[in-house]
Structure 1
Amino acid sequence: MNTTLCGIDISKDWLDAHIEPMGAANRFANDAAGIADLAAWCQNHDVELVIMEASGGYERLAFLLLWEMGQPCGMANARSVRYFAEAMGFLEKTDRIDAAVIARYGAVKRLKPTPPPSAAQQRLKALVARLSQVGGDLTIQKQRKSTADAETIASLDEVIALLARQSRRLEGEIATLIDDDPLWACLDRAFRSLKGVASRTVARLMAQLPEIGILSNKAIAKLAGLAPIANDSGKRSGRRPVRGGRAGPRGVLFLVASIVAKYDPHLAAFKQRLQTAGKEKMVIRIALARKLLVILNAKARDARNEFANAT
């Protein structure tokens, strides 16, 4: 029996919807009222699952409100949907066509609902994102001092001081949020038991990679874009690149892996073996990041099991 799905193409102002397999289509405003109308429309058509893509944050309100209204939602990978559209012969690209493609993709792949994040998880993600923005602004203001005159430097120093205060406040809010959650506090201790892993790293991983400790090592590496992709044909065995995945946690792992390798003997020995084998710098960098992720995933899995057994 076919599942009734609704694919949604999301922009800043609009939600274009298409129901598969009946073909009904409609457009709604991307605001609370429009989302309520969308939920009612889906219920009238017995939609079992709404499928959408990540769209620069414009999907967040619809995803959360639809779940609150009792309408299950699932997330589709935008790159995969685009490849699927081309394979199916959909070379045109309009909002209405995209909604139909998303619905068809969800049906073919038999996508499952994506559980909504908890309020605490949403708050942690927002705080970490803002801390990253403030950190970037701080770097820019400090760089401007090198070419500024005395009066401009004084103005820049005021901005730098303000941003530094905001950064400290955000770090404090993040630390409190993690400490107040027993599971997160347990994960925090497990991660920071590895020398070179700082509290800011822990916060970013917990905000941007909440599946850590739940998925297998292979699955978590793929999610972070650190899993090698097979590139073989016949007798040819090609280079296996990494591609896709979540850029945020991947960037953190690249940076932190090189620091941890200075202190952790196992990671240091692993790096030395790669260098001795003549591996390229980028290959070593990726391999170290993946190795660190596997270590952290194991620590998170043990911490989650310990927490579950204690409660």
Structure 2
Amino acid sequence: MMKIICGVDVSKARLDACIEPGTILASFGNDPDGIAGLAAFCRQHQAGLTVMEATGGYERQAFLLLWEAGMPCAMTNPRSVRRYAEAMGILEKTDRLDAGVIARFAHAKNLQPTPAPTPAQQRLKALVARLRQVTDDITVQKQRRACLADNAEMLASIDEVIALLKRQSRKLEGEIASMIDDDPLWAQLAGAWRSVKGVAGRTVARLMADLPEIGTYSNKAVAKLAGLAPLADDSGKRNGKRSIRGGRASVRSILFLVARTAAKYDKSLAAFRDRLLAAGKHKMTVRIALAHKLLVRLNAKAREARAQYANAT
């Protein structure tokens, strides 16, 4: 028997839903009342799963409130859904049509529920995202300052903004550190990761916020999540060039930076890097390989820390 799935196309104001099989359509507001109506709609038609695309934030409230209402939800990649639609010959694009495509894609892919984050995980992710924004803003202001070396009035204005941003940065760092210290598992993971020279507090926070699965997945799976797994491109006798694609850019970007720093202290990482360079590998290839190797090491440490925590409790 085919599982009943409700596909939901999310926009800022609306949630367009489609139950498959049967193509039963409905539309709701993207607010608490509308989400409650969507949950009732799913229960009425005995949907076992609600699926929506990651749309940059508009889906978060619906995802969390549906889980609170006891409706299992799954998130999926919009690009994958669009390519599925094109492969099925569906070239048109409307909100209701997209909802049906999402539901049929979920059937074809046999999607499973995406666990809802805990309140602590949500807060940590929000704090880390805001810290990243503030850090980027500081960089922008410093760049502007460098272009105004002879304008005292503008320099004073920019210095005031930089001082404010630095205060916010310190406050956010303190809140993040307190959250990690107060959670026994997070504290154990942080201790394990910081045993690797070059891994500092911001790296720990980024991994916990943006890659919470670390330590529970295989090395290959976690590398795919981060977008650091070289993907095969072979056909017949042709062996194509491996490349990376997709994954979580925020995790990948911090690992690029940290791997370069860690190689200054860790002889095995430095030797690995030098061996690749000596073999004539492109610098970007070496950069990816180094970040991948560091991630595998951090994943192993996370796996050990999780096991120790489970045994202790």
Report the Cα offset of residue 258 of structure 1: 0.6
Structure-1 residue corresponding to 2:208: 206
Structure-2 residue corresponding to 1:189: 191
Structure-2 residue corresponding to 1:28: 28
Say whether 1:281 aligns with 2:244. no
Report the Cα offset of residue 147 of structure 1: 2.2
How far apart, in 1, do the equivalents of 2:147 and 2:266 lie?
40
How far apart, in 2, do the equivalents of 1:252 and 1:8 lie?
33
> How many residues are matched?
311
Please report the RMSD computed on the Cα atoms of aligned residues, expressed in angstroms. Answer: 0.7
Structure-2 residue corresponding to 1:262: 264
Bigger Cα displacement from structure 2, 185-194 vs 87-96: 87-96
Structure-2 residue corresponding to 1:18: 18
Q: In the alignment, which of 155, 158, 164 is matched to residue 157 of structure 2? A: 155
Structure-1 residue corresponding to 2:107: 107
> Following TM superposition, where does structure 1 have runs of at least 4 consecutive aligned residues deviating by more than 2 angstroms?
none
Report the Cα offset of residue 210 of structure 1: 0.3
How far apart, in 2, do the equivalents of 1:16 and 1:9 lie?
5
Q: Which amino acid aligns with 2:248?
A: R
Structure-2 residue corresponding to 1:310: 312
How far apart, in 1, do the equivalents of 2:153 and 2:50 lie?
56
How far apart, in 2, do the equivalents of 1:224 and 1:43 lie?
35
Q: Which amino acid aligns with 1:29?
A: G
Q: In the alignment, which of 215, 235, 238 is matched to residue 237 of structure 2? A: 235
Structure-1 residue corresponding to 2:294: 292
Q: Which amino acid aligns with 1:23?
A: T
Say whether 1:248 aligns with 2:273. no
Deviation per CA, 1:35-82, whole angstroms, max 9, x where unpaired?
011111111111110001110011100000000001000111222111
Q: TM-score, normalised by structure 1?
A: 0.99
How far apart, in 1, do the equivalents of 2:231 and 2:85 lie?
22
Structure-1 residue corresponding to 2:223: 221
Structure 2 unmatched runs, 5+? none
Q: TM-score, normalised by structure 2?
A: 0.98
Q: Which amino acid aligns with 1:15?
A: L
Mapping 1:159-178, distance limit 5 Å: 159-178=161-180
Q: Please give the secondary structure, in 2, of the residue aligned with 1:104.
A: helix
Deviation per CA, 1:257-295, whole angstroms, max 9, x where unpaired?
111011111111110110111100010011011101000
How far apart, in 2, do the equivalents of 1:14 and 1:285 lie?
43
Q: Which amino acid aligns with 2:191?
A: R
How far apart, in 2, do the equivalents of 1:238 and 1:95 lie?
38
Q: Which amino acid aligns with 2:282?
A: E
How far apart, in 1, do the equivalents of 2:56 and 2:238 lie?
39
Structure-2 residue corresponding to 1:142: 142
Q: Which amino acid aligns with 2:177?
A: A
How far apart, in 2, do the equivalents of 1:285 and 1:79 lie?
26
Report the Cα offset of residue 25 of structure 1: 0.8
Structure-2 residue corresponding to 1:47: 47
Structure 1 unmatched runs, 5+? none
Q: Which amino acid aligns with 1:36?
A: A
